[in-house]
Amino acid sequence: MKECNSVTVTTLIDNDIWKGGLASTWGLSLYVKMDVEHRRHVILMDTSGSFETLSKNTSELGVDLSAVEAIFISHWHGDHCGSLSHVLPLLKQSTPVYVPSENTFGIRDIKQSGGAPRVCSESIEFMEGAMSTGDLGGEHSLFVNVRDKGLVILTGCAHPGIINIVRRARKVSGVPKVYAVIGGFHISGIHEGRRVGEFLDKIGVELVSPCHCTGADSRNAIADIMGERCVRNGSGRIFSF
């Protein structure tokens, strides 16, 4: 896959708040800006279920939604795609929406709102420098390969399991080095957290930010293993790689 010179991930919405003045809701939305060669690409990953929260946070952060070239929907849960039909009319006609699987109502809504659904059954470099893992049981994850760093993997809820997702991204990209993993990990207990933390530590991940649907016990267990490499997320947090 093509390398990015740099990528910036802005958390527009998470269950928690990072920056004062922003709002939170149960859901996730990430604004991904990447520089590939001399071009800039902007992807919106997930929209959360609350357009009101999304509008408030984008205006507080000065984020321009109209710059979004493509939307990436991790999976068909309302807390990830619920406000899609409000976002699409703000974008140019036929903006591609990368989804993990067929979904009669979801696909219909995208078309009715002016978007162009693209089902990512298999892994694909859907934009230069950005890949989908391909469908893993109803969810796919977005990742980029940052020069001299490695993969930056973004997950929605990680229903297929964060370890499986990371393995898949490494396999389909052929890039073994994983620099960062950010998103919902969908685990809750200490034991699961420890298992994930040990795996990420073993493969040399340098930044992990379990958020959204990751339970507190799991986060703490990951932080115990990863130390300062485990960082909090929340609405308004900006990661630059």
Q: Bridge partners of 53?
A: none
How crowded is residue 90: how many other Cβ atoms within 10 Å of its Cβ?
16
Nearest distance in Å: CB 28, Zn ion: 6
Between 213 and 223, whose beta carbon lies closer to Zn ion? 213
Compare residues 150 and 183 and give the one whose CB is closer to Zn ion: 183
Nearer to Zn ion, 36 or 44 (CB): 44
* Residue 138: CB minimum distance to Zn ion, A: 9
Q: Which residues contact Zn ion (rule: CB under 5 A)?
A: 77, 79, 157, 213
At closest approach, how far in Å is the CB of 139 from Zn ion? 7
- Residue 61 or 139 having the CB closest to Zn ion: 139
Q: How far is the CB of 39 from Zn ion (least distance, A)?
A: 31
Q: Please report the beta strands in the chain, taking only residues with DSSP state E, as ranges in sequence order.
A: 6-13, 29-36, 39-45, 70-72, 96-99, 116-119, 124-127, 130-132, 142-146, 150-155, 178-184, 207-211, 238-240
C-alpha pair distances (Å), 208 with each of 67, 185, 196:
27, 11, 11
Minimum CB separation of residue 211 from Zn ion in Å reads: 10
Identity of the residue, 41 or 77, whose beta carbon is nearer to Zn ion in the bound complex: 77
- Whether residue 41 contacts residue 167, with contact meaning beta carbons closer than 8 Å, is answered with no
What phi-psi label fits residue 190: left (phi over 0), alpha (psi between -120 and 50 degrees) or beta?
alpha
Residue nearest to Zn ion (CB): 157
Q: What is the DSSP letter of 140?
A: -
Q: How far is the CB of 67 from Zn ion (least distance, A)?
A: 25
Between 162 and 213, name the residue whose CB sits nearer to Zn ion.
Answer: 213
Nearest to 85 by CA among 49, 53, 31: 49
Who's near 176: CB < 8 A, 6+ residues apart? 150, 170, 203
